[in-house]
Every structure is written in structure tokens, then in C-alpha cells.
Structure 1
Amino acid sequence: MCGIVGYIGNKEAKPILLEGLRKLEYRGYDSAGIALANADGVHVYKEKGRIAALADRIDQETFATMGIGHTRWATHGKPNRENAHPHQSASGRFSLVHNGVIDNYEALRNEYLANVTLISETDTEVIVQMIEQFVYDGMMVEEALRRTLSLVHGSYAIALIDSKDAETIYVGKNKSPLLVGQGDGFNVVASDALAMLQVTNQFFEIMDEEIVVVKKESITIKNLQGDVQVRAPFTAELDASDIEKGTYPHYMLKEIDEQPAVMRNIITAYQGDSGKIELDQDIREAVKNADRLYIIACGTSFHAGLVGKQLLEGIAKVPTEVHIASEFSYNMPLLSEKPLFIFISQSGETADSRSVLVQVKKLGYPTITLTNVQGSTLSREADHTLLLHAGPEIAVASTKAYTAQIAVLTLLAVDVATTKDLHHDFDVIHELSLVAQAMEVLVDQKELMEHLAHNYFETVRNAFYIGRGIDYYVCMEAALKLKEISYIQAEGFAGGELKHGTIALIEEGTPVIAIATQSHVNGSIRSNLKEVAARGANTCIISMESTAEDDDQIILPEVHEYLTPLVAAVPVQLLAYYAALQRDCDVDKPRNLAKSVTVE
């Protein structure tokens, strides 16, 4: 959450910073601001709302070759101009942007800033005010920064500029993502490489509790003790065209349409010379040696993990549990003797999941991360990584990363089953190819999905998805998609649970959508749908060709029963998309949400 950019060089900083912020707006869009440094001092511009509002506020006559910027997702204080970043010290000398949460900011304020009047309600302002106080006490700026960060408890990624030094941007990081990019005669700072692909693809990873002194001709990385850290830059393997909408009206629609290609990308990425799926031998051994798998995830990734449990137990015969990261972190269950932890995160920066990763690594347990971002924190800190190969996902509501997670979990399950010499007739490459074809059929049914969204969701207050078995897990994701972007109160339920309480919420016209792709429970879920129809529900069925009846509204092309969640995901994503459009909601940037959840 929140996005940071910085630039120092010979070109005008303003357009580079604004373009970087636009690329990071998926991380937060409550407010935004930039600070531009030139010979006249530091010029700070802040505005509530989107980057476009900030751009309108900036004095276009202000020219600077150094600056920092921020797009905010509010944690401390309301989303307004006063709480927007950059924050300045009392004298105005220092300007700072921050992503993260400072847990002990109140104690620091009471101990170090008793005589300083704070302007904002944020924890961030405490950092910049403390730096100025330490400088007043006689410290050099870098020393004051290191001293301040050594006292801070929590997560942070920061960029700091000094009005008395137009040659330096100071950077610090702990738990929150931040990169420093290297150019020819300039250097940049960014929360995500995609923000600065317009100018460079060479980036340095910054580790926890490190600071960086960034000048236009040099990048110096140090730990909090002041020791220089030497490492080589990496090349960001991203195509700038991948992060553009092209002719699409929204990123979400583009990313839904990309799912067939993602399935094929995954096959290509994991297909060995033998023509079969071949995972890293260390990953095979780690799963083979485990007596139980623990999948840790949040939100959409949690729902993918629930499907993964079915795959890992059904195909690989490995007992598997799925846990919400934020609950597991504070309420760890009794573990088996030889657990293996699998962390699922689109961004690889999810704070709740990282908290669990830190805990289990201290206990000495092996870990695997499934992520879309190579070099992300969870990928870097886990023992092994399985990449999703989904390409950049910009829309806040995840679509292609969700199906990619399920596909990669399928590969893992089949590979482990093969390694364990378990008999199965599951040709995963063939089956995923069929999934890709089925997805292509479904993404072309946009007119049908728009029509159904109008019939079921345009004016309603709440809605329900029901299913049984693996369909129930898809229902949970379908409901999340709908509530995320259309703000309809939606819930996914196991069909048999309706009569145990939820059916009391059914009113005349309440939408109830059943997912019925599993033949062994097809009769049961249809019976559940008749129960709610008898009470006035507006019902809809999403079925597979093998389970379909004549009046079913959406019929999915036939795929293997293990992989029905991959094709069922497409229509529910499109239904949510069109429901949001019809209700005039911001599809790509739903209120109160951000793409990368980097605070607990």
C-alpha cells in the first residue's frame, strides 16, 4: 500500500515523478503529493484524490531535477491534504515520503517531539520531525536518519530530501518494498520497478534495515551501523507494454482476457526437455519429505489455496491445511512433525504472510513462495519460489493471478504425485491446454455476461453465491470479486449451509448464483437453489457441459473436474466487472482498497 517514487539527475523531475505515480496508483489513491528541489528550495504540492488532481495543482513553472513523490492509502489519519505526503519538518528543511506503519510513533513523539507542533495525524510526520531534531542536536543528516530509523519499530520505506542539499535523496527500508534504479547520469527510487521502467530497467534490491544515499552519479547502500553493502543491480524483466491498457477501457478487463495466454505461459515455463512438467528437485524433495502442507495466504490468494488443498490432497495425497495469514500469525495451531509452508501472494510483499514467514523460519521449517514477482520479499526470504508467470497485474481486484496460482498449484500436485510414483492419468499439460481453450470461449461471451449482470446485480443490495465441494471455494472468490468492485454485499456459501441460517436473508429478488460443475453434488446444489427460489430469490446457474440442464444461464466448456475452478472463474470475474460498470464504480481502483497490502 502507498507508492513512492524519486528522481535525481539532469532532466526535469516533475513529469518523470508524475508518470511514476500514475503507474503506482494501484497501490493507493486516497491522496498524492510531490516535493521538487531546486536552487530556490523545496516546493511541495499535495492533493486529496487521484494523481490527476495533483497534476492540476502543481505550478508548471517550477523546474527541478530532483524530487520525491507519493500516492497514499490511508492508515493513520483521514485522506486529506494535511495527511498527504510528503511531510515536512517544522522548519521546512526536510521533506519525507513513507510507506508502512510505525508501531511506536506515539512513544517516539512523546519522548523526542514534546516541543514540536505536528501538522498531520500521521505516524510518518514523527520520522521527519525526529530527523530534524537530531540534526539540530549536531548530527549530520545521514547520521540523523540512521539514528531515527534505529529507534523506529514497524515497517517503512522512506525517501528524504534536504532543502540545503540538492544533490542527494536519502532512502531507508524495513519490511516495506523499495528499489533504487540506476540510469545513465541519473538514479531513481520506486516502490515497484514498473513505476520507473520508462527510464531504466536496472534496479538494486534494498534489504531490511538498510539506507541508501542516492546521488545522480552514485548509489551507496549501507546498513544502519553505517557499513557499506555491495551488490550488483538486477534487470527488471518487464515489458513496458505489459503495463499499459492498450485499447481496453480498464486493466481488469484486459487481465481477464489475458488468462488463456497465462495458462500457456505457465505450461511453457515449467515444461522440461522431456515434454513433461519438471519442477526444481529441491522443491520436489521438500514436498515429498513433508507430512503436512500449510498454505498461508490472504484474500484471493487464500481462495486459490483452498482449491490447491483439493488438488494436493486429491492428486498428490498430501494432507494440506489452508490458513488466513493474519490469523495464523497471532494464533498458530498445533503443527505436525514435518510441516512445509507454502506462501501464496500475488505481489510477494503481503505483510501478513511475511509475518508468518518470519515466525516459521525461526522455527526452522522449510518454506515455498508462490508469487508473481521475482525478487519480491516473500520470494527472496523463502527457501524456494514458484513463479506465476502471469505478467504485471495492475487492477486491484485480482483475476489472472488467481487463476495462475491455481494452475501452478496443479503443476505442483501432479509433479509431487509423479515423484511419489502415485498412479494417476492426469496429463496436466493437455488439461491446462484445454483450460486455455475453454477460457478463450468464455472471454468472448462478454455480451451475455453484461446482460446477466444487468438482470441480477444492477440495483440490488446483496447477493449470494452457493456451491459444494470445490465449487464452494470458487463461490467465495466470486463473492469477493463482486463486493470488491461493485460494493454489493456478497457472500459465498456452501449450499448445504443455507438452511442453517443464511436462508433467513433471502428476500424477493435476492440474487443467488449457484456454481454446479461437479457431477457428484449436482443434484444437491440444484436442490439448494430450488429452496431459495421458493423464497423469492432470483436464481442463476453456472454449470459444466456434463452437468448442464436446458435452462442454465451459463454453461462452461468441459474440462477435468479438478480444473473447473479455472474456467468457472472467468464468468464470475466478468459478472463482477459488468456489475461495477453498471453501478458507475471505479473498476480498477475500488474505494478503500490497494493492490499490494504491505501493512498488517
Structure 2
Amino acid sequence: MCGIVGYIGTKDVKNILIEGLRKLEYRGYDSAGIAVMNDNGVHVFKEKGRIAELEASVNPDISATMGIGHTRWATHGEPSKYNAHPHQSFSGRFTLVHNGVIENYEKLRNEYLANVELKSETDTEVIVQLIEEFVNEGSSVEASFRKTLSLLHGSYALALIDNQDADTIYVGKNKSPLLVGIGEGFNVVASDAMAMLKVTDQFVELMDEEIVIVKRDRVEIKTLDGIFVHREPFTAELDASDIEKGTYPHYMLKEIDEQPAVMRKIIMEYQDANDNIKLDEDVRSAVQNSDRIYIIACGTSYHAGLVGKQMIEKMAKIPTEVHIASEFSYNMPLLSEKPLFIFISQSGETADSRAVLVHIKKLGHRSLTITNVAGSTLSREADHTLLLHAGPEIAVASTKAYTAQIAVLALLAVDTAKVKGIKLDFNPIQELGIVANAMEALVDQKDIIEKIARDYLSVTRSCFFIGRGIDYYVCQEAALKLKEISYIQAEGFAGGELKHGTIALIEEGTPVIAIATQAHVNGSIRSNVKETVARGAHACIVSMESTSETGDQIVLPEVHEYLTPLVSVVPMQLLAYYAALHRDCDVDKPRNLAKSVTVE
């Protein structure tokens, strides 16, 4: 949610900021703005809507070598031009962009800003007005900046410029992600390294409650108490070509097609010279010494966790629970004596999951993050990390990260079983290679799946996915994908639950998509399909070669039963993609959604 960019150097800043914001579009936003500063002062441009509308509003005749930019996802106040960032102080001296949520902004406004007329409905404007208030009382800008941040309760990543200082961007962070990029004769600020990857690959991580004084030739990191902090930069291991669409019309389609390559990349990264699973011994020890595993995740990652639970319990014989992070934060169950917490997050910045991590660390429990982003907050703050190696995922609807999460969980389950001396007739390295080939065959069937999407989903107002066992978990993910990007009311149900209420919703022509990859429940799920057809449903069956029957609409290549979710989800992703396309929806940037959810 939301994105920040900033630049101070020698080049004209307008295009640098605009292009940086474009790279952050995946995070979700409803307005955008930039502020640039030159000898004539600060010039602010902001618009409701897309980056293209902002770009059209920027005066091309203005030249500047420093500035800040922002994409906003509305939390306080409606999406509008006046609520868009950057926000300015009453006199116009200070200009600020902010990600996050300030929980005590109303209290601060009432206590310090009773005589200041606010121009927006946002919590952000309170921050910039406070800074000016403290400067007017005689404090330096840096002291006022630090004092203001010390008063804030909640999450923030922010960048501030002062029209009386052409050589400084003030930066601060707490809970929300923010990086400072290092260059030769310039420095940058970004919520995500990919935003500024074209200008530098050297970045410094910021920790909570730190500020940074960013100048053209140096950066100074300090605590809120003013104590200097030294931290070496890291190299962002991203290929700029990975974050381009290339010849694809949408990132989502590109990322669906990349899944076979992701499986092979995971094999390469987690396979040692003897074809065994390669894991850090500390990770192995953490899993072995736990008496129960708690998987914490949200959305698609939660669905991957459900599949992971089944694999860990069946193969490694460790009791495993899966919890929605936002619920766990406020309603923690009774814990076992030696729990291990596994946090699953594509971005590694999910605020709800981080809230759980902070709490369980205080309790002294061990933690492991499975994420796509090295150096992300959840990775940095957990005891251990397993990387997905899926490459940047730009589309809001997750595809390749989901399958990568399941693949890494499978490797973890098998490795744990082996260390415990449990014999399995299952070689995950070999089986993931088979999965990659199966995925490749499926993504080549786009014409077939597009036709099914047109026939079943182009005009419907609702759709139901049904399955049993591990297929039920895939149904939940399939429904999420469809509702996310096509806005069809979709639900995933356990097939046996239909008769307990849901079948009342079936009417003539209602699409019912059944996943039937498990031999031991194949007959049962097919009986459930017949129940819906008898009530008028338009049924589509997705089966494995070994469970298929004449008339099944989609037959998947055969893979090991533990790994069927990796292939059964691929046609579900494509169905969602084509349904959204035929309904003229914005595939990569669905309404009201954000890629990286950095507020609770």
C-alpha cells in the first residue's frame, strides 16, 4: 500500500520520480503526486487516479534536481486531489509524503494544532503541520522532525523537504518499509528497491524509529535520540528486466507463465551437490525442536499455508496450525510449550503478520519467515528465512509466489521427515521437476481455458468452487483469484458442506467449478457435482489424468498427490485472468486492493 520515492542529485528529477512511482504501482493506489524543488521554491503536482494523469499535469518547463513523490491508497479521507500527497505545512515551507497510519493524529491535532487550518482529511497533514509548529517555536528542522516522530503512534515511512534547504531530504521510518539508495553524486529514497533500480542497486536498510538526513553526497542515519548509526549498504539482487512486462499485455499473465521456471529455480537453489535438500542447519534445528508449528499468513499466503499444513503433518508428523494474521494478533490461542512460528508473505512487509511476529518475539518464541524479498522486514526480524526465489511479482493477484510458497513448504516438510528418520516414497527434487513440466503444458493451453472462461464466467454474477481435502484449499485460492480481479462473487467450499446450506444458492446457470485430483475422494466430489447439476448448475470439472472421466473439461498432467495444488491452481489462475479480461477489468491493478499491505 502506498509508495514513496525521492531523489537528490544533479539530474532533472521529474522523470526519475515519475518512473519510480510507476514501478510502485503494483502496491495499489488511488492518487499520486510529486514535489520538486528549485531556486524558485517547491512545486507540487498531484492528481486523483493513475500515474499517467499525474504525468500529464506536471509542468515540463520546470527543472529541478531534488524532489519527493508518492502513490496513495486511501485510509483517512476519500481518494481525491486534496487528500493526495505531498502535503504542505500552513506556510508552504515544508512538504511531506507519508506511508502508514498515525493512530493518535486526532489527539495531536487537538493538542498542538487547534489554531491551524488543515486542508485535507488525512492523518499525514498533521505530521507536516506539527513540524512547522515546532520550528516556529525555535527548534531546528532536524530537532522538530525528531520531536514530531517521537510523538507519533502507529506506522510511518516519510520524506520531508524544506524550501529553505536545497540540500536535504529528511527521512524517517517506523513499521512501514523504506530504503535509502546510494549513488555517485546523488542519493535516493524508495519504499521498494525496484522503484530506483535503474539509478542504483546499492541500498541501506532502515530500522524502526530511525531518521536519515539525505544529502547529495552523503547520508546520515540517526536514532530518534540523535545517536549516529553506521550501516553498510547492500546490493539489491534484482534484474531490471525482471520487472518489465516485455511482450506480455499484463504482468499477471507473465507471472503465470513464469511458474515453471520458478519451480526449476527453487530446485537449483535448494538442491546440494548430492541431490539432497539444502537447508541451513539452524532452520533444521528450529523445526526439529518444535512440538507444534503455527503458520501465520494473510490472503493467498494463508491458502498456501493450508496446503503446507497438510504436507508437514502427513510427511513430517508435526502438528501444524494455520492462522489468519489479523485474527491471531488480537485473539491468540493457547500455545504449545515449544512452538515454531512460520510467517508466509510474498513481500515480507505484511503489517498484520509483523504485529504477530513482534508479539511472539516478546514471548521468546522462535520464528521463520518464508518470503520472496530478501532483507524485508519479516525476513530481517525473524530468526530464520527461507527465500522463494520467484523473482519480482508485480500483479496484485499473486500467482507465482503462491506456487513458490507451496514448493518451499514441501521441501521443508520432506527435509524435516528425513532428519526425523521418517521414510518417504517421495523425492521432492524429482517431483518438482515433474511439476514444472506439467505447469508448462498447462500454460500452453490458454485457448482452451480462455474458452471455458468465456462460456462460464463472462456474464455471471457468482461462481462456486468445490473440492475435498487438499483440493478444497485450492478452491479457496481459486475463488480469491476470481473475485480479486474480475469482481465476480466467488466462494470456495468443501464439497461435503454443500448440503449444509450452500446449495441453496445454486440456481439455473450458476457456474460450479469442481477440482477432483484426489483418488480417495474422487467419487464423493463427483456426487457433489451431480447434486449441483440437478439444481441447474453449469458444472466444470478439473481432474488429474488418474482421476479423470469422459466429459471433464480440464484434465491435468499427472503429478504426485502431495503436489497437485501446484498444477490444479494454474488453470484457476488463467480462468480468473480471462474472466477479468472479458469483463474489461484492470487485471494487474484491481480496484481497492494493494500488493503490499503495510497497514493493519
- Distance in 1 (CA, whole Å) between partners of 2:590 and 2:224 is 38
Q: Name the structure 1 match of 2:388.
A: 388
Shift of 1:28: 2.5
- Distance in 2 (CA, whole Å) between partners of 1:149 and 1:375 is 24
- Distance in 2 (CA, whole Å) between partners of 1:119 and 1:508 is 52
Alignment of 1:342 with 2:342, yes or no, is yes
TM-score by length of 1: 1.00
TM-superposition CA deviations, 1:465-494 (whole Å, max 9, x none)? 000000000000000000000000000000
- Distance in 2 (CA, whole Å) between partners of 1:113 and 1:264 is 57
1:147 aligned partner, one-letter code: K
Question: Mapping of 1:388-427 within 5 angstroms?
Answer: 388-427=388-427
Tell whether the 8 Å contact from 2:514 to 2:541 is kept in structure 1 after alignment.
Answer: yes
SS class of match (1:526): helix
Question: Mapping of 1:89-108 within 5 angstroms?
Answer: 89-108=89-108
- Distance in 2 (CA, whole Å) between partners of 1:103 and 1:462 is 37
Q: Name the structure 2 match of 1:491.
A: 491
SS class of match (2:483): helix
TM-superposition CA deviations, 1:555-587 (whole Å, max 9, x none)? 000000000000011000000000000000000
Gaps of at least 5 residues in structure 1 are none
TM-superposition CA deviations, 1:479-535 (whole Å, max 9, x none)? 000000000000000000011011111111110000000000000000000001000
1:373 aligned partner, one-letter code: V
Alignment of 1:538 with 2:529, yes or no, is no
- Distance in 1 (CA, whole Å) between partners of 2:439 and 2:331 is 39
Shift of 1:273: 2.1
Alignment of 1:133 with 2:151, yes or no, is no
1:347 aligned partner, one-letter code: S
- Distance in 2 (CA, whole Å) between partners of 1:260 and 1:73 is 33
Q: Name the structure 2 match of 1:323.
A: 323
Q: Name the structure 2 match of 1:367.
A: 367
2:587 aligned partner, one-letter code: V
TM-superposition CA deviations, 1:450-469 (whole Å, max 9, x none)? 10000110001010000000
- Distance in 1 (CA, whole Å) between partners of 2:52 and 2:263 is 35
Q: Name the structure 1 match of 2:88.
A: 88
Shift of 1:29: 2.4
Shift of 1:425: 1.3
1:445 aligned partner, one-letter code: Q
Gaps of at least 5 residues in structure 2 are none
Alignment of 1:547 with 2:585, yes or no, is no
Tell whether the 8 Å contact from 2:292 to 2:320 is kept in structure 1 after alignment.
Answer: yes
Q: Name the structure 2 match of 1:582.
A: 582
Tell whether the 8 Å contact from 2:471 to 2:518 is kept in structure 1 after alignment.
Answer: yes
TM-score by length of 2: 1.00
- Distance in 2 (CA, whole Å) between partners of 1:542 and 1:340 is 36
Q: Name the structure 2 match of 1:214.
A: 214
The sequence identity of aligned pairs, in percent, is: 77
Q: Name the structure 1 match of 2:4.
A: 4
SS class of match (1:303): helix
Tell whether the 8 Å contact from 1:243 to 1:394 is kept in structure 2 after alignment.
Answer: yes
Alignment of 1:39 with 2:43, yes or no, is no
Q: Name the structure 2 match of 1:517.
A: 517
Q: Name the structure 2 match of 1:189.
A: 189
SS class of match (2:508): coil
- Distance in 2 (CA, whole Å) between partners of 1:417 and 1:322 is 19
Alignment of 1:20 with 2:20, yes or no, is yes
Tell whether the 8 Å contact from 2:28 to 2:396 is kept in structure 1 after alignment.
Answer: no
Q: Name the structure 1 match of 2:304.
A: 304
- Distance in 1 (CA, whole Å) between partners of 2:66 and 2:372 is 32
SS class of match (2:293): strand
Tell whether the 8 Å contact from 1:29 to 1:51 is kept in structure 2 after alignment.
Answer: no
SS class of match (1:378): helix
Tell whether the 8 Å contact from 1:99 to 1:156 is kept in structure 2 after alignment.
Answer: yes
SS class of match (2:335): coil
> Where in structure 1 do 4 or more consecutive aligned residues deviate above 2 Å?
none
Tell whether the 8 Å contact from 2:32 to 2:47 is kept in structure 1 after alignment.
Answer: yes
Q: Name the structure 1 match of 2:460.
A: 460
Q: Name the structure 2 match of 1:200.
A: 200
Q: Name the structure 2 match of 1:109.
A: 109
Shift of 1:423: 1.1
- Distance in 1 (CA, whole Å) between partners of 2:581 and 2:177 is 32
- Distance in 1 (CA, whole Å) between partners of 2:138 and 2:91 is 16
- Distance in 1 (CA, whole Å) between partners of 2:190 and 2:522 is 50
- Distance in 1 (CA, whole Å) between partners of 2:517 and 2:136 is 68
Q: Name the structure 2 match of 1:226.
A: 226
- Distance in 2 (CA, whole Å) between partners of 1:181 and 1:584 is 38
